């Protein structure tokens, strides 16, 4: 059984605490095991390095006293224990310029994604993760991290790495940048890092430790504001999203993009080993050569329903693609659609693999008639493809699967998405020996994904993208007739995507029971396996109380949300007042989830306010339009003089001559 120091782990299936966490036992110097046998713990404490921690006399053990030792989780309580002391006599072998204590925390934190523990809370073992760079010993059995990486992986904003001040105390910037709810050092706690010893000293025996969000019931109260109390600048502030430092992000992904450009398949394979801990013989698979995956019949049936609805909705868009009109007698103008020949589709694999995205992207590509459809998705630990993604890709006519991309761990996925995605989009943008070069890359993602796509779009690769995108977001407009339980569920359905998700509730009228809605949010959040993620997102959310429909729609149009839920009486009448939204969900029986999966509309949508000028993925995303004009002699005689005169005004004599020569010939024929 596996766990992590300083992080409270629950079984995904039973939510049972995993028990004592040890470091240095089992699969090598960085293996992590959990021991529940008291006799075994007692035996080890007499012969091995020991760390004392509170909680039923439990002890953490280190198989190698020269390595490191870690905290213990007291399974009799639903919280992470406070650490009294952690001592490592000597730096861990292989750790350069960094304490073995920090290395233990780093390596164990990486277990989160691979073993899919359903919840975690950073504790004080994460606070030493502040070095600008370090080398961390790895264990293949743990799928541990790359040997060299920046400590900024633990920052929600890659541009702000965690750091210590000269005093050794965790600075406020590091706390602010933390990507997950954390249990920081006790008040007065100090980190001391030396070449031969690392100690966490508890300065105040009674200092409180924050409760674990996923275990202790979390209290949620959305920031509540009245529109009538706000000035223009405050309203603009509510529309703001987290700042994106594209320059810093592009500095991260740029070298990877160039490496893939120059070394192709070999570079992709190396990065897959480095980031995914998977060794691949082939990075690309031909979909036609892959056997049909074995799936539960109910799962297949659900995907089949989604496929049919998505196909119906997008096929209907084909009717309006081509058109022809006679603008004046003898002058006919036409627009014709042609499929983009080669497209690359990115299916994320960060906090969860999203086979629904494979349908959302591949189905319109299939309808458009794209010849080459490359689906990029992260490989599983054994190098295989997620069976649900494969099923959707095969059903929707994808031609190739590129096994690259994806995040390595939930709590640091923003940083690693940028690097993982970089190799996937670079391979598709530039092409390799086995991966076809594509002309357009489509797929959802956070701001790091957007940065990587935009970097390629502006390079010599000559590739376009679907749209900029950022963290997922929802704005819910509701009145007194809406169910508080429904509103809460809709808010949480976006909040659970990630801690950077944007969640806004607009209450129409003072008679909306905001307290009842908050109570529902709290109750439902505490019942969610991903409740800690949702709770983090809700910390940055707010409720805006408005008086009228006009005020609600005006604010929504300014905010331009990715998803807009209108849960009010007579919701259909509101649509004409809505101008800016990625996708709109009208009425009490239309949760945002139906659009995410199977109503037929596309869930790849603009975020970050880009709905003011971008629409979501549609059939148009996979085609380009050619315009055609055809003039008869009568048409040129009627139109030619105007064209020649306009060319003369602009000083383009050759343009004018191309018309006047023809007019002269026509007159001569008569």
User: Is a pLDDT exceeding 80 seen at residue 489?
Assistant: yes
Q: What does the pLDDT look like over 243-261, one tens digit per residue?
A: 777 778 778 888 888 899 9
Q: What does the pLDDT look like over 70-114, one tens digit per residue?
A: 333 333 332 333 322 333 333 333 333 333 333 333 333 333 222
Q: Looking at 57-71, 292-306, 484-498, which range is the least confident one?
A: 57-71
Coil vs helix vs strand at 195: coil
Give the rounded percent of residues in the chain with a pLDDT score beyond 90. 52
Q: Please indicate, yes or no, if residue 237 is contained in any of the structural domains.
A: yes
> What letter does residue 654 receive in the DSSP assignment?
H
* Per-residue pLDDT at 449: 66
Q: Which of 467, 501, 536 is the last residue of a domain?
A: 467
- In the numeric block, which tokens belong to residue 257? 């993009």
What DSSP string runs through 407-433? -S-GGGHHHHHHHHHHHHHHHHHH--S
CA–CA distance, 574 with 564 (Å, rounded to integer) = 12
pLDDT category, 482, cuts 50, 70, 90?
Answer: very high
> Does residue 409 sit in the same domain as residue 511?
no
Query: Which of the two residues, 275 and 180, has the higher pLDDT score?
Result: 275
* Per-residue pLDDT at 248: 80
Task: Report the CATH number at residue 649.
Answer: 1.20.5.1300
Helix axes 387-395, 297-316, angle to 10 degrees: 40
Quote the mean pLDDT of the chain: 72
Domain hosting residue 105, numbered range: 20-201
Task: Report the CATH number at residue 536.
Answer: 3.40.50.1980
pLDDT category, 29, cuts 50, 70, 90?
Answer: very low
Q: Looking at 74-83, 500-509, 547-556, 558-567, which range is the least confident one?
A: 74-83
CA–CA distance, 501 with 484 (Å, rounded to integer) = 21
User: Is a pLDDT exceeding 60 seen at residue 606?
Assistant: yes
Q: Can you tell me the mean pLDDT for 626-630?
A: 98
* Per-residue pLDDT at 215: 52
Q: Please indicate, yes or no, if residue 316 is contained in any of the structural domains.
A: yes
- In the numeric block, which tokens belong to residue 478? 């509701």
Q: Please indicate, yes or no, if residue 191 is contained in any of the structural domains.
A: yes
Q: What's the structural domain count of the chain?
A: 4
- In the numeric block, which tokens belong to residue 650? 């602009």
> Does residue 579 sit in the same domain as residue 639?
no
Burial 174-185 (b: 16+ CB within 10 A, else e): beebbbbbbbbb
Please classify residue 649 by burial: count the beta carbons closer than 10 Å to its beta carbon, then call 0-12 exposed, 13-18 middle and 19+ buried. Answer: exposed
Q: Please indicate, yes or no, if residue 624 is contained in any of the structural domains.
A: no
Q: What does the pLDDT look like over 653-664, one tens digit per residue?
A: 999 999 999 999
| CB 151, CB 38: distance < 8 Å | no
Q: What does the pLDDT look like over 398-430, one tens digit per residue?
A: 999 999 874 222 222 334 455 666 788 899 999
C-beta neighbour count of 642 within 10 angstroms: 10
> Does residue 235 sit in the same domain as residue 260?
no
CA angle at 157 for the pair 133 and 79, rounded to the nearest 5°? 85
Query: Which of the two residues, 464 and 128, has the higher pLDDT score?
Result: 464
* Per-residue pLDDT at 448: 65
User: Is a pLDDT exceeding 70 seen at residue 581?
Assistant: yes
Q: Please indicate, yes or no, if residue 611 is contained in any of the structural domains.
A: no
* Per-residue pLDDT at 392: 98
> Does residue 235 sit in the same domain as residue 315?
no
Element (H, E) at 452: helix 447-457
* Per-residue pLDDT at 56: 32
> What letter does residue 491 receive in the DSSP assignment?
H
> Does residue 295 sit in the same domain as residue 376?
yes
Q: Can you tell me the mean pLDDT for 541-562?
A: 97
Coil vs helix vs strand at 44: helix
- Sheet of strand 563-567: strand arrangement: 223-226, 542-546, 502-508, 473-478, 563-567, 583-586
> Does residue 58 sit in the same domain as residue 182?
yes
> Does residue 534 sit in the same domain as residue 584?
yes
Please give the backbone phi and psi of residue 649, each rounded to the nearest 5 degrees, phi first: -60, -40
CA–CA distance, 468 with 449 (Å, rounded to integer) = 9
User: Is a pLDDT exceeding 50 seen at residue 64?
Assistant: no
Q: What does the pLDDT look like over 188-227, one tens digit per residue?
A: 332 222 222 322 222 233 333 233 334 567 888 889 999 9
Please give the backbone phi and psi of residue 260, each rounded to the nearest 5 degrees, phi first: -65, -35
Q: What does the pLDDT look like over 134-176, one tens digit per residue?
A: 222 233 333 333 333 222 222 232 222 222 222 232 233 322 3
Give the residue numbers annotated as catalytic, written as ranges. 562-563
> Does residue 270 sit in the same domain as residue 380?
yes
User: Is a pLDDT exceeding 60 seen at residue 38?
Assistant: no
CA-CA-CA-CA torsion for 541, 545, 546, 549, nearest 10 degrees? 70
* Per-residue pLDDT at 17: 37
Residue 360 half-sphere exposure, CB side, CA atoms within 13 Å?
Answer: 24
> Does residue 639 sit in the same domain as residue 543?
no
> Does residue 332 sit in the same domain as residue 461?
yes
Q: Please indicate, yes or no, if residue 496 is contained in any of the structural domains.
A: yes
Helix axes 246-263, 447-457, angle to 10 degrees: 60
Q: Can you tell me the mean pLDDT for 290-312?
A: 98
Residue 143, Cα to own-chain centre: how many angstroms?
21
- Is beta strand 342-346 parallel, antiparallel or unpaired with respect to 372-377? parallel
User: Is a pLDDT exceeding 60 seen at residue 299?
Assistant: yes
> Does residue 56 sit in the same domain as residue 189?
yes
- Of how many residues is the chain composed? 670
Q: Which of 201, 234, 256 is the last residue of a domain?
A: 201
Q: Please indicate, yes or no, if residue 216 is contained in any of the structural domains.
A: no
Strand partners, 225: 544
> Does residue 303 sit in the same domain as residue 232?
no
- In the numeric block, which tokens belong to residue 636? 């040129």
Q: Please indicate, yes or no, if residue 210 is contained in any of the structural domains.
A: no
Give this prediction's pTM.
Answer: 0.68
């Amino acid at each position: 059984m596996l766990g992590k120091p300083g992080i409270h782990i629950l079984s995904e299936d039973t939510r049972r605490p995993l028990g004592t966490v040890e470091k240095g036992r089992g699969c090598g110097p960085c293996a992590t095991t959990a021991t529940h046998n008291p006799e075994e713990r007692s035996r080890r404490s007499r012969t091995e390095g020991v760390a004392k921690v509170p909680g039923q006399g439990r002890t953490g053990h280190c198989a190698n006293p020269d390595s490191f030792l870690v905290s213990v989780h007291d399974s009799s309580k639903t919280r992470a224990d406070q650490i009294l002391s952690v001592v490592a006599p000597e730096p861990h072998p292989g750790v350069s310029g960094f304490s073995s204590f920090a290395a233990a925390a780093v390596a164990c934190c990486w277990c989160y994604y691979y073993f899919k523990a359903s919840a975690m809370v950073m504790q004080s073992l994460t606070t030493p993760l502040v070095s600008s760079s370090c080398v961390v010993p790895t264990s293949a059995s743990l799928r541990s991290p790359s040997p060299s990486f920046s400590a900024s992986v633990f920052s929600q904003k890659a541009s702000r790495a965690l750091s210590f001040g000269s005093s050794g105390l965790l600075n406020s910037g590091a706390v602010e940048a933390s990507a997950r709810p954390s249990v920081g050092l006790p008040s007065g706690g100090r980190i001391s890092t030396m070449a031969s010893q690392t100690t966490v000293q508890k300065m105040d025996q009674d200092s409180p430790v924050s409760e674990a969000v996923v275990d202790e019931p979390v209290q949620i109260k959305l920031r509540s504001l009245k529109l009538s109390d706000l000035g223009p600048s405050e309203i603009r502030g509510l529309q703001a999203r987290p700042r994106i430092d594209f320059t810093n992000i592009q500095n991260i992904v740029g070298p990877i993009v160039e490496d893939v450009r120059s070394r192709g398949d070999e570079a992709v394979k190396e990065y897959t080993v480095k980031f995914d801990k998977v060794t691949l013989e082939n990075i690309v698979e031909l979909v036609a050569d892959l056997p049909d995956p074995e799936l539960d019949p109910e799962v297949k049936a659900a995907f089949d329903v989604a496929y049919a609805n998505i196909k119906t909705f997008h096929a209907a868009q084909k009717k309006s693609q081509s058109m022809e009109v006679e603008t004046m007698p003898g002058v006919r103008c036409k627009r014709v659609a042609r499929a983009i020949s080669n497209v690359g589709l990115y299916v994320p694999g960060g906090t969860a693999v999203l086979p629904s995205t494979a349908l959302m992207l591949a189905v319109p590509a299939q309808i458009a008639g794209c010849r080459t459809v490359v689906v990029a998705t992260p490989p599983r630990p054994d190098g295989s493809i997620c069976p649900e993604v494969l099923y959707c890709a095969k059903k929707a006519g994808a031609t190739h699967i590129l096994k690259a991309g994806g995040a390595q761990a939930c709590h640091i996925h923003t940083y690693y998405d940028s690097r993982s995605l970089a190799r996937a989009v670079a391979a598709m943008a530039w092409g390799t020996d086995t991966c076809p070069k594509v002309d357009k890359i489509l797929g959802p993602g956070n701001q790091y994904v957007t940065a990587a796509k935009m970097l390629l779009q502006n390079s010599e690769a000559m590739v376009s993208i679907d749209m900029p995108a950022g963290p997922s977001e929802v704005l819910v407009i509701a009145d007194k007739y809406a169910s508080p339980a429904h509103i809460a569920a809709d808010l949480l359905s976006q909040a659970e995507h990630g801690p950077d998700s944007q969640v806004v509730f607009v209450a129409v009228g003072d008679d909306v029971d905001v307290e009842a809605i908050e109570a529902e949010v709290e109750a439902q959040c505490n019942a969610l396996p991903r409740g800690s993620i949702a709770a983090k997102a809700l910390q940055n959310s707010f409720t805006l109380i408005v008086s009228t429909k006009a005020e609600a729609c005006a604010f929504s149009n300014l905010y331009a949300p990715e998803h807009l839920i209108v849960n009010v009486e007579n919701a259909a009448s509101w649509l004409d007042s809505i101008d800016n939204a990625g996708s709109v969900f009208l009425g009490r029986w239309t949760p945002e989830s139906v659009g995410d999966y199977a109503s037929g509309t596309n869930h790849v949508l603009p975020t970050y306010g880009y709905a003011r000028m971008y629409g979501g993925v549609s059939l148009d995303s996979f085609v380009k339009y050619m315009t055609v004009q055809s003039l008869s002699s009568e048409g040129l005689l009627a139109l030619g003089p105007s064209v020649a005169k306009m060319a003369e005004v602009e000083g383009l004599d050759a343009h004018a001559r191309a018309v006047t020569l023809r007019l002269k010939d026509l007159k001569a024929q008569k």
